[in-house]
Amino acid sequence: MSDLVWLSMAELGRMVATKEVSPVEVARAHLDRIAALDARLRAFITVCAESALEAARAAEADLMAGKITGPLHGVPWAPKDLYSTKGIRTTGGSKILAESVPSKDATVVSRLSQAGAVVLGKLNMHEFAYGPEGLNAHYGDARNPWDGSAHRIAGGSSSGSGVAVAAGLAPGSLGSDTGGSIRIPASLCGITGLKPTYGRVSRAGVLPLSWSMDHVGPMARTARDCALILGAIAGYDPDDPTTSVLPVPDYAAALGGEVKGLRVGLLRAHFTDVATPEVRAAVEVAARRLEQAGAVVDEVNLTQIDHVAAASSAIVASEAVAYHAGWMRTRAQDYQPDVRERLRIGAFVSGAHYVRAQQVRALVRREVDEALAKRDVLLGPATPIAAPVLGERDATLGDGPSDVRSALIRLTRPINFSGHPACAAPCGVTASGLPIGLQIVGRPFDEATVLRVIDAYQRLTDWHTRRPAVA
């Protein structure tokens, strides 16, 4: 197998620009690896070999003509299969949309294409993004590459993105995050995943789960690669009325600095303290590592987080059933059972419940804002557990027993609720060699600082460079 598949997007872009490697060679290396491993890993729903090579040849021709579009010119990537892609089916991981072929790209897909990036294919996911395990009854369950023997879940809903990036099938991806669907698979698969501020990145052309909680963001192996992708996709879009008109900074240029003097709040109650002992210890070590590098670390307890599970469920469940109501009346049997059940439950949330949940949301957002008024970022685990075995239903957390599903979303969902930017990245491994993920939460629209902290941490440690068992 070619070592090209383990290079970062930044490095691939540099090598393409300096003509050390051809975009066609890079695309072929990834397509060969997909052909060799994906029958087992099930990261892809659709592989676009021909169109990927065609795009790579076009990128090469531009390069030879002296036209280079930027740092992602000729660099491959793959979106979760809920991003509309012109001429390529977009299933949402569902049977219902199995033959749906959009006539135009999602805004962010279009922006990455304009940046010269090459689509390798469309990635597996929990059906319609409604589940944190990353399971799919129609296209097969993506397999976490960190365990060569047991089938462990990749986490979801962007499971294929987590697996593809971790296993070297694609150097970068776009996931979507409604309750943690970027950060959960990033944590379980040992990669870096950023949920930007609500409104930073356009959702136009992305299948919705919950309009007011959905976030679009990058997944890659490094903070630098996330910065490159974010720089290409962020910014106002007239097709998404929630996008902000705030200018987009140069995220990659903001990297490379130190964390000396940066104020970091270690999230204790409801976050670090509810994680398993291995996860808790790894996150505390990460906090000390940042402290040794000059950051000023103190502890934070958010008190309103207790209400997030109920309020967030009310919002997501009712928005999801509103979107799916038509199909739920006519094609209910075509949903996988767990998703169908969740959608049905959403029909029982009243309007008063929904509004009360949005009031709670304002309360939680205010509390996170207050914590960040005195600090630059907050730090905690991304997930309280490492990747469970497929079918495992129960987990034991720091505050008692939990079902796996609730455990997976417990630490990420509050930040969808509040809308702040948050990035997950690897910070250790369990005794059985599974990745452990931390998350850094920042002020609204301050993705640059969030990425800067992760980048500094990745220059201090090597967790992000480790390769999984299957790879």
Partner 1 sequence: MLAPMEITVETLQRLGGFAWTDAELEAIRPGVLRLLEMLERLESVPLDAIEPTTQYRML
Q: Which positions touch partner 1 (CB under 8 A)? A: 197-200, 212, 242, 244, 246, 307, 309-311, 313-314, 317, 321, 325, 328-329, 341-342, 344-345, 347-349, 353, 355-363, 365, 419, 444-445
The least CB distance from residue 220 to partner 1, in Å, is 24
Please identify, using beta-carbon distances, which residue of 34 and 440 lies nearer to partner 1.
Answer: 440
Measured from the CB of residue 379, what is the shortest distance to partner 1 in angstroms? 21
Of 121, 112, 120, 20, the C-alpha closest to 73 is 112
Q: Report, in this order, helix, strand and coil percent for the chain, each rounded to 5.
A: 40, 15, 40
Choice between 128 and 417, CB closer to partner 1: 417
Chain-centre distance for alpha carbon 448: 17
Q: How far is CA 415 from the centre of its chain?
A: 13
Beta carbon of residue 274, minimum distance to partner 1 (angstroms, whole number)? 18
How many CA atoms lie within 13 Å of 117's alpha carbon, on the beta-carbon side? 30
Nearest approach in angstroms of CB 327 to partner 1 is 12
Q: What are phi and psi of 87, to 5 degrees?
A: 80, -5
> From CA 412, how far away is CA 318, in angstroms rounded?
20
C-beta of 277 vs 401, nearer to partner 1? 401
Name the minimum Å distance from CB 196 to partner 1.
10
Tokens of 288: 């000390």
Are the CB atoms for 68 and 116 separated by under 8 Å?
yes
C-alpha closest to that of 410 among 428, 397, 391: 397
Q: Which is nearer to partner 1, 272 or 313 (CB)?
A: 313
Find the radius of gyration of the CA atoms of the chain. Answer: 20
> Token pair for residue 429?
């491994």
Residue 309 CA to residue 413 CA, distance in Å, equals 8
Q: Which is nearer to partner 1, 213 or 264 (CB)?
A: 213
Nearer to partner 1, 299 or 394 (CB): 394
Other Cβ atoms less than 10 A from the Cβ of 391: the count is 11
Distance CA 300, CA 392 (A): 32
CB of 97 to partner 1, least distance (A): 21
> Any idea which residues carry the catalytic annotation?
80, 157, 181
Q: Alpha-carbon distance 206 to 237, whole Å?
A: 13
Task: For the CB of residue 417, give the shortest distance to partner 1 in the complex, in Å.
Answer: 10
- In the bound state with partner 1, the residue whose beta carbon lies nearer, of 73 and 361, is 361
C-alpha of 91 from chain center: 18
Q: Using the minimum distance from each CB to partner 1, give the nearer residue, 345 or 429.
A: 345
Q: What is the 3-state secondary structure (H, E, C) of 358-416?
A: HHHHHHHHHHHHHHHHCCCEEEEECCCCCCCECCCCEEEECCEEEEHHHHHHCCCHHHH
Query: Smallest distance from the beta carbon of 37 to partner 1, in angstroms?
Result: 37
Rounded CA separation 285/275 (Å):
14
Count of other CB atoms within 10 angstroms of residue 362: 10
